[in-house]
Structure 1
Amino acid sequence: MARLEMRRRCTWRIFQSIEYAGEQDHLRLNRFFDYLMTYFTPSSSKERDFLNRILSEPEMTKDPKLEKSSTYESVVVPDSYMGPRLSFPLLPDHATVLLEAFKQEQHLHAHYVLRLLHETQKYLTQLPNITSISTCCSKEITVCGDLHGQLNDLFLIFYKNGLPSPQKPYVFNGDFVDRGKWSIEVLIILFAFLLIYPKEVHLNRGNHEDYMINLRYGFTKEVIRKYKEHGDKILKVLQTVFSCLPLATLIDQKVLIVHGGISNTTDLDRLARIDRRKVIDILWSDPIPQNGCQMNQERGGGCYFGPDVTKEILQKHGLQFIIRSHECKPDGYEVCHDRKVITVFSASNYYTEGSNRGAYLKLGPDLNPHIIQYQANKAARKLTMTQRISLVEESAYLVLKEKVFAHRSQLIAAFKGFDKTNTGMITLDDWAKALESVLQLGLPWRMLRAQLVSHLISRKLDYKLWLKQIVTEQWSSTEERLQSSLLENIYRNLSNLETVFSIIDSDHSGLISHEEFHHTFRLFSSHMNIDISDENIEDLACSIDFNKDGNIDFNEFLEAFRLVRKPSL
């Protein structure tokens, strides 16, 4: 049992470290965009307009006469449409129809999606940053954590706990979208119940209710795939809807519900007044066992807050405890800081099948928290502990090997730094040090060695052979195509490049113009450490536009980063 638990903890650490490294990378890209907005001086009006278009934030409007012609009124529902239909104001029967339709994997027509978002935006703009609710009118309030587009988890919660109603109030604590396959359906259901029961359903914003995060983690692609013709309109409205979501919920003025956490500067009075589009700490922060407050190095945003910080904030505002989400936990929940901080995570099987349970929390008038756990995947429920850990372990090491491949050239250089006599052999200690210096995942590499290294010679590792085996094992069919260090560099930065391309491609057509490419390459070449002149950028745009149609698709965009390092440029 001890060995199984150690294996479980190791695989969990792998998944979480890689997840946080990706978030850190994304926030670095965000900070680069912020730098551009603050310090970059456009050389022309066209360049200034381009910058404003790709980097400007949505406006929060409280005008009841919101723009309609560009949203639902311009989208016609054909007579041939056989899916669910909505009329407004929404009634409980509409929510039931949506639930049944989504169980049958039907889509809601874009007209109704846009109308729903329009009505949701109108309602959200009237709400304060912090929503106050009470247990006095109900028996219990249910608090759900991250759902991440996992519709089956939401269905199971409703099945076990009941649908939202005046007798069954809910708080959904952010991260409704991304990663899962049914993010838009989860949103539609939550927004529908929000409009039907505005006093009983409450939504907090999470760090994934953000259009930049959505570009990287799948929600944007999902919407475009499911709503090809009108996906761009839906995404633009959602950008504003997300920015209107409240930041926190207070139950009986005693329990604070917030997505990430707090910091030593958290002040609820100030939080109630600020522009809620600008908040970072409460969406990204995580609790730690040690006292103090410090920058969250693993995620790259928010802070770590210790039990002393929690105690101080609770005393300052007369609170009993804090409920937060944001972190996947093996059991779906975790209690820390002398039971004053409770993490609730509602997406089961988050990393892979069998990786974790989901949970939700119930609070009655006595404010004693009651946790309900579940496992949405029926197959995962039938697995023994050994089978579940082996399955999760296999997935974790596959992800880790992909990370190793993406940094192959850097690892070779690091290994050679320890191989002073050029024997091609290094000790396991040096192997572990080199891996951590390059990947910076904070993993116990010596403990992982049995799963990553199969062969030693005189207790030393042939590092070139080891890397070759890693590549052959997972990428034998594409090894030749991915041999060059340049393509490896593109593979390593693929998420950043996809995000940048999606930002430029604001209409999500899959194409950008030569002029947009020129402006973009000039703006972001410094971020990718590429030195190239304006003339070379223009030549490059022409050379990678293979069909000469005046536009560049994503594959051609990637080709630019391959060609730009050629000596001729």
Structure 2
Amino acid sequence: MASASITKDPGDLMVRAALIIQNWYRRYRARLSARQHYALAIFQSIEYADEQGQMQLSSFFSFMLENYTNTHKEDSALVSRLFENTRLESKDREEYVGLIDVPDSYDGPRLQFPLTFTDINLLLQAFKQQQILHAHYVLEVLFEARKILKQMPNFTRIKTFPAKEITICGDLHGKLDDLMLIFYKNGLPSEKNPYVFNGDFVDRGNNSMEILMILLVSFLVYPTDLHLNRGNHEDFMMNLRYGFTKEILQKYKLHGKKILQVLEELYTWLPIGTIIDNEILVIHGGISESTDLSILQQLQRNKMKSVLMPPVSTNQDSNIKKNKVGSPSAAAGPSEQSASEQLTKLEWEQIIDLLWSDPRGKKGCYPNTSRGGGCYFGPDVTSKVLNKNQLKLVIRSHECKPDGYEICHDGKVITVFSASNYYEEGSNRGAYIRLSYGTSPQFFQYQVTSTSCLNPLYQRVNAMEFSAFRILKERMIARKTDLINAFELRDHSKTGNLVLAQWAFFLWESILGLNLPWRSLSSHLVSTDASGSVDYMSSFDDIHIEKPVKDMKSDLIETMYRYRSDLKIIFNIIDTDQSGMISMDEFRTMWKLFNAHYKVHIDDSQIDELASTMDSNKDGNIDFNEFLRAFYVVHKYEMPENPLNK
């Protein structure tokens, strides 16, 4: 009997092949997704650590106020800069605006006051062409906006209707393309198309001024239909670190200082929240177990000059009087520069919680250790605050989310973040929310598309991952001496190797203060042998801080590099004439105070030697910005060419 030939069904082979390819592709996408997740975790962890450092500056400023002014009693400008409200009366407006002419040669947008919808369109078209609005118009807009904002309550109350929805946008952070895309998809602000912009309009992006002008001009045209909440970056101290101050001074070299002075006060008059339909609380950051809307609605918000400037201790702080303060515009006169010019400690903490807090799944309310300000609040805290105030929902921003929004706490907290590609091209979508009375929130996602966004996914992940590990390496090199000391304490046999678990959990997390999956990231950061031991010195093979002065000690280099942003902010406050120069005596005084407060243990002699060397023309002054630029990181590697590596 002839044996029957066995042939496989071609259709079956095709199905099996398709399943193999499908499984391979799913694993491939999962690996890319994991790499993307780790890169986002690095970006966010370092962002919050930087904000924590910024918040920690607040205690230093109180220390500096007490000590610096004791040695420089004649310098009352520092006290005024830090702790007194700057008031620009009507005569100052004429001085600021009236004396700035708009030349015939200026070919940018010319605004006509009172403003109309035409001016909104005019600005949008001009900014699309990368034109700069003249300083005269910028100041006019700031003064006009301040005049209206001063009449507004701390919480704006608005209502929706089935035929009149409202759009809520989160952080924009100077990303003009995102705002343009929102307006393209959702329509321009109008009486029939109201908006709430929930803080953090500025900083980090390159077009913070353009976004601020569009929002303020729209607010002036539709003051009852476009609502602006204060975020933690509507703060002159935050702007010093995160870029908006630099942007203004670069775009307005002649009148930038005037713009900054007016803007500094305008921030203080922004409302701190919006309540929609008496049910939805819209605030930038979050809440805490002690959030009290009755206190928040009554306090004089313009006294919050900066969230980084806590009230100077007074006897009244321990016993807040819940008196009726009336209209927020009823501020004390210029002659009453005293404790009455400040919020009480309780009031200050209430606003800090509103602007800086983040929701978490864990019950309770506990310190926000990542940011250094505000709190983490759990679902029980959300329910308690909502029930107490007869509210149903909190909408907040403040945190970048991969999808542009996130729902948590059993649907009672929504985060909306409107800056797409926030950390890197392709890192996240942006989103906005539309609300209508009696219906569930609608979410709209988008992503600004550039040339790199059209690249294949693996290339976008590679680029994002490369950028993330670059900034992580810079954070490592800033603590190189501390890390090596910690490694060597664990390396009892002096082999130069550690068990991966020790390297990851006992050392990196405690020294760098970054809560990251170090073992998963180790292949990018350190050489590991087959047994799982790591050569801990290999962490620093491809990066170093360039020495501005030969034979300079490593610990001093790292300290100056690590604290360069803080030092620059401190210098900018002391440099009241904005000259960019600092005397040797001022530098020594500033450093001694900084050294004493931060306990960085650098000998004064080292600083004196460094300062003398940096005084290149020996005139007793240092260009401080040039001084800090001398400390920079050199990377010895390039972007990996192979997109399928790892």
Question: Same fold by TM-score, threshold 0.5 exceeded?
Answer: yes
Aligned to 2:286, which of 261, 278, 298? 261
Q: State yes or no: 1:306 paired with 2:378.
A: yes
Matches within 5 A, 1:19-38: 19-37=47-65
How far residue 481 of structure 1 moved from its aligned partner, in angstroms, is 9.2
How far residue 213 of structure 1 moved from its aligned partner, in angstroms, is 0.6
| CA 292–348 in structure 1, closer or farther in 2 if over 3 Å, else same | same
Larger mean CA deviation between 138-147 and 423-432 belongs to 423-432
- Secondary structure at the aligned position of 1:299 is classed as coil
Query: How many aligned positions are there?
Result: 556
* 2:617 aligned partner: 547
Larger mean CA deviation between 385-394 and 272-281 belongs to 385-394
Matches within 5 A, 1:224-235: 224-235=249-260
* 2:36 aligned partner: 8
Q: State yes or no: 1:388 paired with 2:460.
A: yes
User: For 1:192-249, what per-residue CA distance to the aligned partner results, in whole angstroms no more than 9, with x for missing partners?
Assistant: 0000100100000000001111111111111111111111111111100111100000
User: For 1:50-70, what per-residue CA distance to the aligned partner results, in whole angstroms no more than 9, with x for missing partners?
Assistant: 531442243467x6x362244
| CA 67–275 in structure 1, closer or farther in 2 if over 3 Å, else same | same
Matches within 5 A, 1:327-338: 327-338=399-410
Matches within 5 A, 1:288-303: 288-303=360-375
How far residue 139 of structure 1 moved from its aligned partner, in angstroms, is 1.7
- Secondary structure at the aligned position of 2:394 is classed as strand
- Secondary structure at the aligned position of 2:376 is classed as strand
Q: State yes or no: 1:436 paired with 2:509.
A: yes
| CA 46–535 in structure 1, closer or farther in 2 if over 3 Å, else same | farther
Aligned to 1:498, which of 540, 548, 568? 568
* 1:323–1:342 Cα contact (<8 Å) kept: yes
Counterpart of 2:617, as a letter, is: N
Structure 2: gaps spanning 5 or more residues: 1-28, 305-347, 632-646
* 1:70–1:233 Cα contact (<8 Å) kept: no
- TM-score of the two chains, using structure 2 as the length reference: 0.80
Q: State yes or no: 1:485 paired with 2:555.
A: yes
* 2:148 aligned partner: 123
**Alpha-carbon distance in 1 for matches of 2:433, 2:91:** 36
- Secondary structure at the aligned position of 1:342 is classed as strand
How far residue 489 of structure 1 moved from its aligned partner, in angstroms, is 1.8
How far residue 274 of structure 1 moved from its aligned partner, in angstroms, is 1.2
| CA 125–215 in structure 1, closer or farther in 2 if over 3 Å, else same | same
Matches within 5 A, 1:88-103: 88-103=113-128
Larger mean CA deviation between 438-447 and 377-386 belongs to 377-386
**Alpha-carbon distance in 2 for matches of 1:492, 1:535:** 20
* 1:529 aligned partner: 599
Larger mean CA deviation between 150-159 and 11-20 belongs to 11-20
| CA 57–9 in structure 1, closer or farther in 2 if over 3 Å, else same | farther
| CA 479–363 in structure 1, closer or farther in 2 if over 3 Å, else same | farther
**Alpha-carbon distance in 2 for matches of 1:323, 1:16:** 21
Aligned to 2:132, which of 78, 101, 107? 107
* 1:60–1:243 Cα contact (<8 Å) kept: no
- Secondary structure at the aligned position of 1:527 is classed as helix
- Secondary structure at the aligned position of 2:93 is classed as coil
Q: State yes or no: 1:411 paired with 2:439.
A: no
Structure 1: gaps spanning 5 or more residues: 562-569
* 1:405–1:470 Cα contact (<8 Å) kept: no
| CA 66–353 in structure 1, closer or farther in 2 if over 3 Å, else same | farther
* 1:420 aligned partner: 492
User: For 1:109-141, what per-residue CA distance to the aligned partner results, in whole angstroms no more than 9, with x for missing partners?
Assistant: 111111111111111111111000111395210
How far residue 494 of structure 1 moved from its aligned partner, in angstroms, is 1.3
* 1:332–1:348 Cα contact (<8 Å) kept: yes
How far residue 388 of structure 1 moved from its aligned partner, in angstroms, is 3.0
**Alpha-carbon distance in 2 for matches of 1:301, 1:151:** 28
* 1:456 aligned partner: 529
* 1:47–1:519 Cα contact (<8 Å) kept: no
**Alpha-carbon distance in 2 for matches of 1:34, 1:271:** 24
Counterpart of 2:299, as a letter, is: I
User: For 1:493-536, what per-residue CA distance to the aligned partner results, in whole angstroms no more than 9, with x for missing partners?
Assistant: 11111211222223433223456445534543423436899999
> Which protein has the larger Cα radius of gyration, Structure 1 or Structure 2?
2
User: For 1:94-119, what per-residue CA distance to the aligned partner results, in whole angstroms no more than 9, with x for missing partners?
Assistant: 11111111000000011111111111
* 1:248–1:257 Cα contact (<8 Å) kept: yes
* 1:250 aligned partner: 275
* 1:345–1:359 Cα contact (<8 Å) kept: yes
Larger mean CA deviation between 132-141 and 151-160 belongs to 132-141
* 1:525–1:532 Cα contact (<8 Å) kept: yes
Aligned sequence identity (%):
52
User: For 1:5-64, what per-residue CA distance to the aligned partner results, in whole angstroms no more than 9, with x for missing partners?
Assistant: 322221111111100100001111122113444x54843673551531442243467x6x
| CA 540–448 in structure 1, closer or farther in 2 if over 3 Å, else same | closer
**Alpha-carbon distance in 2 for matches of 1:548, 1:554:** 14
How far residue 401 of structure 1 moved from its aligned partner, in angstroms, is 1.1
Counterpart of 2:514, as a letter, is: L
